[in-house]
Amino acid sequence: MDTSAADPDGVLDALDRRLVHALQVDGRAENGRIAEVLGVSARTVARRLGRLFGTGTVRVVRMPDTRAAALGALLLRVRVLRGRVDAIALALAAREDVPFLDVMLGGQEVSAVVLGGAADRDRLLYGQLPATDAVVESTAYAVLHLFADASAWRCGQLTADQEAALAPPAPSTAPPEPDPLDHRLLDLLAVDARRPQAALAAALGAPESTVRRRLHRLAAGGLLRTHVSVDPRLLGAAVDANLWLDVEPGRLAETGAALARHPQVHGVLATSGPSNLMAAVFCPDHAALYRFQTEVLGPLGVRRAETAIVARPVKRAGVRLRPPS
């Protein structure tokens, strides 16, 4: 009997990880297409995905358009009194303008990405955080350039040919200016990017043909990027770290682009502050993180690196993560 399960090390089994990778390539890929590429039955794919989605282990959502919002976005580091980190993390995670949030190792720091308008950010930085007696210190770094965001990361379970077979068509037009119906459609996909066209049409009160045309137009403009929300530890990435890097200015673009192509990296941004580059890295263990620093960062001209290890991912791509059982 086909079952979806975690192995003794607490990760998803091989087929589940391959399904996650398939969804990372195209979050709206039909079950039959995934089955054909992976060489399993459509019934198996439906059963496995049904279980992963039904338990909340995996969710597929529309990726917030961090590319458009990157300039002016903030990377926020908040130091918190011991024992108060959960309250601060939950309060920040409840904000719609915070799509990514982690509790760092040691339990005294919360790291977050903050989007949104200047007025909302100013209220958070200069009003709400200072007024909270649990906050010891907060530091905000401006994002100057986005090299790669979380939607580009793959968990390494499929071959290049399988990825190519699943990849959706590349955007072919400039991003359209969404009208009110488009915004309602995008909001529905932000909750569940795999929602069928018929269900979307029923929720919008619009003809299915209209929804189909809208989806095609939004996809052609690059507005339907998806993100698979899953705890990385279930994929064998036991160590998640934010690396704050000091890179020679003349090599900043080269280093950022090289890190964006690395299979362990799930985010690279040029920032303001004492470090000019931040890279988010998944590693199977601490030894692999050490090798990443010595073998990858060393040859790239990184002069200094501060390593902040994630203890608990709380929110990714606007979705609260389900802790692994």
Q: Pull the structure tokens for residue 260.
A: 């964006």
pLDDT at res. 237: 92
Phi-psi group of 273: left, alpha or beta (phi > 0 → left; psi -120 to 50 → alpha; rest → beta): left
Model confidence band, residue 7 (pLDDT cutoffs 50, 70, 90) = low
Is the pLDDT at 66 greater than 70? The verdict is no
Alpha-carbon distance of 249 to 254, in angstroms, equals 10
pLDDT averaged over the chain? 91
Give the phi and the psi of residue 302 in degrees, each rounded to 5.
-80, 120
- In the chain, the amino acid numbered 311 is A
Contact 203, 188 (CB under 8 A): yes
pLDDT at res. 252: 96
pLDDT at res. 303: 92
pLDDT at res. 10: 62
Q: Pull the structure tokens for residue 107.
A: 């339990």
Is the pLDDT at 275 greater than 90? The verdict is yes
pLDDT at res. 8: 42
Residue among 267, 263, 270 nearest 313 (CA): 267
pLDDT at res. 121: 85
Ranking 17-31, 65-79, 192-206 by mean pLDDT, the lowest is 65-79
Contact 109, 312 (CB under 8 A): no
Average pLDDT on 7-25 reads: 86
Reduce the DSSP state of residue 120 to 3 states and report it. helix
Contact 204, 188 (CB under 8 A): yes
Q: pLDDT of 133-178, one tens digit each?
A: 999 999 999 999 999 988 889 999 999 999 999 999 888 888 889 9
Q: pLDDT of 95-121, one tens digit each?
A: 988 999 999 999 899 999 998 788 888
pLDDT at res. 2: 57
Alpha-carbon distance of 23 to 42, in angstroms, equals 15
Residue among 23, 26, 67, 85 nearest 48 (CA): 23
**Percent over 70 (pLDDT), the chain:** 94
Is the pLDDT at 69 greater than 70? The verdict is no
Is the pLDDT at 258 greater than 60? The verdict is yes
Location of structure tokens 């959706």: 168
Model confidence band, residue 233 (pLDDT cutoffs 50, 70, 90) = confident
Average pLDDT on 240-262 reads: 96
Model confidence band, residue 11 (pLDDT cutoffs 50, 70, 90) = confident
pLDDT at res. 23: 97
pLDDT at res. 52: 96
Q: CA dist 260 to 132, 133, 148, 157, 263, Å?
A: 36, 38, 5, 19, 8
pLDDT at res. 64: 72
Average pLDDT on 226-253 reads: 93
pLDDT at res. 245: 97
Location of structure tokens 């990157």: 70
Contact 85, 108 (CB under 8 A): yes
